[in-house]
Structure 1
């Protein structure tokens, strides 16, 4: 069964959704899993790119932007419009969504991580996504995260 995990950020932290996406991508990378992180805009992609390269004082999350993606990279990032059929052929293990809408290609993934900021607008958008995933028969789980 397909599963969606909603990660609800409980506190207000600058760029929280990108930091949490970095944590998830780092964990997946350590588990030899491939992840596609989808952003809302090119500005969000740039912000996430910067955070992944400076993930911690002692490490970074190796990744590529979709337009520069190398097949061997385990983590790719980009906007929804950057995802092509060729990108989806790479067989990612997890889709990490930091956007406010469900990507049109979400049905290609068995596991989806939805990251939800602490503000009310993000929560409202997440409720709509939750209902849609629920209506499509996904198994849903929620996790409250404090950064």
Structure 2
């Protein structure tokens, strides 16, 4: 059963949420874990792809969009089945991933946008209803 964590940002700025996702992806990759970064749509996946190239000038995070290389250390996609199991899922979507069970750890990134807060609260409840014990982490 995966460990579920909700990382809560104090800001409502959408770009800060994507930046946090990139930082967490880099940290997990450096720890040797495969990462699947789930975007809400193709546009957000492209934004995350671009941000991973430039968010930290002195570092490089090897990544790829799912359709380009599903076996990259950090894969950016939507609801595709990950090529690696027992890695980290960073969920930027507003719903639960259908692939939750394929990961050892799931990270939901929450900011203070009202619509996103509502969706994340619902996700928290859904995880509990499914028997998970989600935790809250303040960033």
TM over 0.5: yes
Question: Structure 1's 100 and 57: CA in aligned 2 closer, same or farther, altered over 3 A?
Answer: same
Question: Structure 1's 58 and 126: CA in aligned 2 closer, same or farther, altered over 3 A?
Answer: same
SS at match of 1:139: coil
Residue 92 of structure 2 corresponds to 98
Residue 29 of structure 1 corresponds to 29
Structure 1 segments (4+ residues) deviating >3 Å: none
How many Å separate the matches in 1 of 2:30 and 2:2? 22
Alignment of 1:113 onto 2:107 = yes
SS at match of 2:56: coil
TM-score by length of 1: 0.87
SS at match of 1:68: coil
How many Å separate the matches in 2 of 1:97 and 1:46? 15
SS at match of 2:134: strand
Question: Unpaired segments of 5 or more residues in structure 2?
Answer: none
Q: Identify the range of structure 1 (12-21 vs 61-70) with the bigger mean alpha-carbon deviation.
A: 12-21
Residue 64 of structure 1 corresponds to 64
Question: Unpaired segments of 5 or more residues in structure 1?
Answer: none
Q: CA RMSD for the aligned pairs?
A: 1.5
How many residue pairs are counted as aligned between the two chains? 139
